């Protein structure tokens, strides 16, 4: 089955790819955490309006 052959070892392949990519993130990505419905709404609207810089990654939670 094609899907089984593809899925076999996916964790190892993903881990290998990620281990080369992850160290670069600290130099080019800033993670911004926000909580609550108002914060999620604001980040969403700012994203739509192009106000979120490409080097920012937002971790959002509806829970306050």
- Each residue of 32-51: pLDDT tens digit? 999 999 999 999 999 999 99
Domain boundaries, the chain: 2-61
pLDDT over 70 at 7, yes or no = no
Contacts 24+ apart (CB under 8 A), 51-55: 55/28, 55/29, 55/30
- Provide mean pLDDT across the span 48-57: 97
Q: The pTM is what? A: 0.65
């Amino acid at each position: 089955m094609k899907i089984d052959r593809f899925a076999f070892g996916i964790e190892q392949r993903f881990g290998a790819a990620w281990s080369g990519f992850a160290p670069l993130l600290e130099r080019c990505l800033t993670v911004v955490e926000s909580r609550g419905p108002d914060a999620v709404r604001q980040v969403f609207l700012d994203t739509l309006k192009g106000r979120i810089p490409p080097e920012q990654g937002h971790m959002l939670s509806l829970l306050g």
